[in-house]
Amino acid sequence: MTILIPILGDQLSHGLASLHDIARADAVIVMVEVAEETTYVRHHKRKIALILSAMRHFADELRADGWVVDYIRLDDPENSGSFTGEIARAIKRHQPKSIRIVEPGEWRVAKMIKDWAKHFGLPVDVLPDDRFICSILEFQTWAQARGDLVMEFFYRDMRRKTGLLMTADGKPESDQWNLDKDNRAPPRRGLDYPAPLPIVPDAMTRDVMALVADRFPGHFGRLDGFALPVTATEARRALHHFIRTALPAFGTYQDAMVTGQDWLYHSWLSPAINLGLLTPLAVAQAAADAYAAGDIPLNAAEGFIRQIIGWREYVRGYYWMEMPEVATANVLEATRALPEFYWTGHTDMLCMAEAVRNTRDNAYAHHIQRLMILGNFAMLAGVDPGDVADWFLVVYADAYEWVELPNVIGMSQHADGGRLATKPYAGGGAYINRMSDHCGRCRYDVKQKTGPDACPFNALYWDFLARHERRFRRNRRMVQMYANWDRMAPEMRAAYRASAAAFLATLKPAAKGWAR
Ligand code: FAD
Ligand code: DLZ
Ligand code: SF4
């Protein structure tokens, strides 16, 4: 009798665990486009188009490979609109003896699947997602043994486990685990920024784009200019294009920001990796191979590999360990509504307007835009981290809760009290000025400390430190900042606080309904 194999929209890997050790004749694969997933938050139009197009391409590839695939489209009149409803209908059609599924990426969906055995009266076999390098259990064992979470030590274990950038005698390449100190160069004039691989949408993608335009007209973001890989073959081409054209400078300019340059030397591979079109190990191995071949310097290879086998695996382990409580964590008791300009881009702050424009046009912003502009501003302004998390989940083509939430709640908003990152990622105008070319073109003056023409990040930064003095003064990594605050004349401190209050009073909150 048949085994039903549901494959979710971010499980588009031919090596998926549920496809191992099973004869094609014994299996029916079910893939479903459902309103529940397209609208549990109002995802960016381009993200929906990406996922549905990649799902349709993947279903065709599975069929060509001999699998039976039962595929339900969003506009199917019988579509019940939910995973559980569609599995119920598929059970009626195929009368399976059991269900086999790879664990989902999100807690919300895992909770749903937990009820299936009882609900359907069938055995449900939930398999670990072995596309990740570190299993959920392995991470929990590691974290429990250590007591605290430090990404750097986790990363070293992943280097040992994979053998990436390790010498034969078990040492890190060039005797260095981490070359981050070489990776903080500001942008300079005369740099060439390679364009990502141009990918022209095929007829299937164009069909999906028309469906999305028709069905989700009020969702955030632009659909035109879609150029993301939707198959494993395209994703591999994008990976090799990146390695050849951008990776050599990736490390050095990893933290840089440049007006009008949306990708700089970043890979823009996260949507493909998160969908399963590329495995993280294959991506990291390709970078290690380029280093071994002498094509890229060590700081580029190490910096890039750290993001994939370090940060990406670490945030996933953190998510499953800290859910569901972390979703509502708010230790800084931030309550402000998200400002409207996160959706409209209408702000005089050029760094912010640029980051929102990139987000709207491409469903993308690179890491430093996400962390030190969009996230930093929200934290300094005291925006409710739940609102911030909703925004980040909606707007990026690579956003799934397992990766978005730790990055927002833990890394960028410090709302978990420092469990993920020991120090808040807070920065004033001087940091942004050093790492970008934005300030020279901005209507605000980055050198001015207070007043209506001063860069808002300056006063907000000191106001944030003052508001949270009790929590942060004893943090070893913030001693210097409080020493600077202490040295200021009381009038200066008061001026910073008044300037921050005046600026915050001008913020218009976003209308309800953008995200949910
Ligand atoms: P590159 O700079 O080329 O980096 C290479 C790869 O490393 C990425 O493709 C990604 O797979 C991985 N990576 C790098 N940093 C991280 C990280 N902190 N966490 C997990 N993986 C990482 N990433 C997502 O995939 N989805 C999200 O929803 C997401 N939300 C974020 C929210 C905030 C507030 C912040 C600060 C970061 C977030 N990130 C998220 C992490 C990171 O910003 C993106 O992975 C990266 O910008 C994707 O672009 P890229 O592929 O060009 O990355
Ligand atoms: C994000 C998303 C969207 C927009 N649509 C679908 C869909 O129609 N069908 C589907 O199987 N998956 C979709 N996804 C991805 C799921 O939300 C994702 O697989 C789960 O959240 C588990 O991570
Ligand atoms: Fe951003 Fe301030 Fe620079 Fe303007 S002056 S771009 S607001 S950091």
Mean pLDDT of 220-239: 97
Contact 499, 454 (CB under 8 A): yes
Q: Give the ligand whose atoms come closest to the C-alpha of residue 453.
A: 3
Best of 5, 10, 230 for a ligand 2 pocket test (most atoms within 8 Å of beta carbon): 10
Percent of the chain past pLDDT 90, that is, above it, reads 96
Cα–Cα distance measured from residue 135 to residue 130, given in angstroms and rounded to the nearest whole number? 7
pLDDT beyond 80 at 182: no
pLDDT of residue 230: 98
Residue 8 neighbours by CB under 8 Å, 6+ apart: 83, 101, 102, 104, 105, 109
Cα-to-centroid distance, 367 and ligand 3 (Å): 18
Summarised one tens digit per residue, pLDDT across range 412-465 is 999 999 999 989 999 999 999 999 999 999 999 999 999 999 999 999 999 999
Q: Which residues line ligand 2 (CB under 6 A)?
A: 8-10, 32-34, 37-38, 43, 48, 51, 104-106, 109, 400
Contact 472, 482 (CB under 8 A): yes
pLDDT of residue 148: 85
pLDDT beyond 90 at 356: yes
Q: Give the ligand whose atoms come closest to the C-alpha of residue 433.
A: 3
pLDDT of residue 337: 97
CA dihedral 295, 298, 304, 308 (to 10 degrees): 110
Q: Structure tokens of 69?
A: 């695939």
| 56 Cβ inside 6 Å of ligand 1 | no
Residue entry with tokens 């090596």: 15
In this structure, which residue's CA is closest to atom 16 in ligand 2? 9
Summarised one tens digit per residue, pLDDT across range 126-176 is 999 999 999 999 999 999 998 889 999 999 999 999 999 999 999 999 999
Q: Structure tokens of 76?
A: 């199917």
pLDDT of residue 295: 96
Q: Which residues line ligand 3 (CB under 6 A)?
A: 349-351, 429, 432-433, 438-439, 442, 444, 446, 455-457
Residue 490, φ and ψ in degrees, nearest 5: -55, -35
**Residue 99, helix vs strand vs coil:** strand
Summarised one tens digit per residue, pLDDT across range 101-127 is 999 999 999 999 999 999 999 999 999
Q: Give the ligand whose atoms come closest to the C-alpha of residue 87.
A: 2
Cα–Cα distance measured from residue 498 to residue 155, given in angstroms and rounded to the nearest whole number? 43
In this structure, which residue's CA is closest to atom 8 in ligand 2? 33
Summarised one tens digit per residue, pLDDT across range 236-263 is 999 999 999 999 999 899 999 999 999 9
- What amino acid occupies position 236? R
Cα-to-centroid distance, 367 and ligand 1 (Å): 6
Summarised one tens digit per residue, pLDDT across range 359-416 is 999 999 999 999 999 999 999 999 999 999 999 999 999 999 999 999 999 999 999 9
Q: Structure tokens of 186?
A: 């500001």
pLDDT of residue 33: 98
333 exposure class (CB count in 10 Å sphere: 0-12, 13-18, 19+): exposed
pLDDT beyond 80 at 66: yes
Cα-to-centroid distance, 350 and ligand 3 (Å): 6
Question: What is the chain's mean pLDDT, rounded?
Answer: 96
In this structure, which residue's CA is closest to atom 6 in ligand 2? 37
Q: Give the ligand whose atoms come closest to the C-alpha of residue 41.
A: 2
All domains of the chain, ordered by start, with CATH?
Answer: 3-127 (3.40.50.620), 136-194+246-322 (1.25.40.80), 341-505 (1.10.579.10)
- Tell me whether 0.85 is exceeded by the ipTM: yes
Please report the atom of ligand 1 found closest to the CA of residue 393. Answer: 28
Cα-to-centroid distance, 268 and ligand 3 (Å): 25
Q: Structure tokens of 181?
A: 């100190």
Cα-to-centroid distance, 117 and ligand 1 (Å): 35
pLDDT beyond 80 at 496: yes
Best of 403, 408, 412, 416 for a ligand 1 pocket test (most atoms within 8 Å of beta carbon): 403
Q: Is the pTM of this model over 0.95?
A: yes
